[in-house]
Amino acid sequence: MTELNPRFWEVFFEVYENLPRQGPGNRACAARALGLCRDLPECPAILDLGCGVGGQTFQLAEMTSGSIVAVDNHAPSIERLRTAIARNGLSHRVSAIVGDMAHLEQPLGSFDLIWSEGALYSIGLGNALRVCHGLLRPGGYLAFTDAVWCKESPPAEVKAGFDVDYPTMGSLDDDVAAIHDGGFEIVGHFTLPDEAWWDDFYTPMEARIARLRSKYASDLEASAILDQLAEEPAMHRRYSDFYAYEFFVVRRPFWIGPKGAGTTRG
């Protein structure tokens, strides 16, 4: 089964778009990370990169009085999010746009807070940090999660699972080095607890896959894709000691420019 197969993506999104969120994380962790952003303005300008269907976008809308621009390059997720924004009466301060986080047209230095759960890796962490540095005002915060290896030499099955999506995934120390290289100060970081993988992500994912198995009972190709997608939570049950999601809260310093070209666009 190749992931270049269009049928793979059709079934993939049929599973993922119906979940409360498209990656690990929960409200408690978002609140903890937001709490580390100590001197945000009362109504911060927030950019949510790789927002998916907006799981954390709504948490940010609830926990702040800020204006939020949520960006994702998958148009159907943005359509779904726009509908939910309108339904929740948040259109006056939350907007959702289809865009590539590597090439955004927002003015440089215009955000107080950039939020990104499980998405920066998509354009390479170093590149993403450079983009975010440019979009933040001096003193602005970047709160993001990233997958990291916790042990050397993970089993081949786990390594292969991550290699598909995130071949350059490193250790916590590698991320810390990338953050410093990107010209940021680290405010704090913590590891997502196991429930942040399950409550809003893997548990609903397994339920969704189970429902779709009935729908596709006589469709061998779709059933094989569901088997493949079911491997991710199953792998987490077996091997979660080998990797983690780390929540980083970092800050663009007031007093110094980035190393390299951080004031330019990606």
Ligand X SMILES: C[S@@+](CC[C@H](N)C(=O)[O-])C[C@H]1O[C@@H](n2cnc3c(N)ncnc32)[C@H](O)[C@@H]1O
Binding site for ligand X (CB under 6 A): 21-23, 25, 50-52, 55-56, 71-74, 77, 100-102, 117-119, 122-123
From residue 244, give the alpha-carbon distance in Å to each of 175, 184, 188, 192, 202. Answer: 12, 22, 16, 7, 15
**Radius of gyration for the chain, computed over Cα atoms and rounded to the nearest angstrom:** 18
Q: Secondary structure of 134-177 in the HEC alphabet?
A: HHEEEEEEEEEEEEEECCCCCCHHHHHHHHHHCCCCCEHHHHHH
C-alpha closest to that of 178 among 244, 128, 253: 128
What kind and span of H or E run contains 200?
none
CB of 20 to ligand X, least distance (A): 8
In the bound state with ligand X, the residue whose beta carbon lies nearer, of 215 and 264, is: 264
In the bound state with ligand X, the residue whose beta carbon lies nearer, of 16 and 149, is: 16
CB of 42 to ligand X, least distance (A): 25
In the bound state with ligand X, the residue whose beta carbon lies nearer, of 74 and 208, is: 74
Per DSSP, 83 falls in state: H
CB of 231 to ligand X, least distance (A): 16
Per DSSP, 24 falls in state: S
In the bound state with ligand X, the residue whose beta carbon lies nearer, of 66 and 266, is: 266
- Structure tokens given for 169: 């995934």
In the bound state with ligand X, the residue whose beta carbon lies nearer, of 162 and 216, is: 162
CB of 22 to ligand X, least distance (A): 4
CB of 19 to ligand X, least distance (A): 8
159 burial type by CB count under 10 A (0-12 exposed, 13-18 middle, 19+ buried): middle
In the bound state with ligand X, the residue whose beta carbon lies nearer, of 18 and 223, is: 18
CB of 214 to ligand X, least distance (A): 26
Contact 37, 114 (CB under 8 A): no
Please, what is the Cα angle at 83 between 79 and 87, to 5 degrees? 170
Measured distance CA(257)–CA(263) in Å, rounded: 8
In the bound state with ligand X, the residue whose beta carbon lies nearer, of 102 and 253, is: 102
Terminal-residue alpha carbon distance, the chain: 33
CB of 88 to ligand X, least distance (A): 17
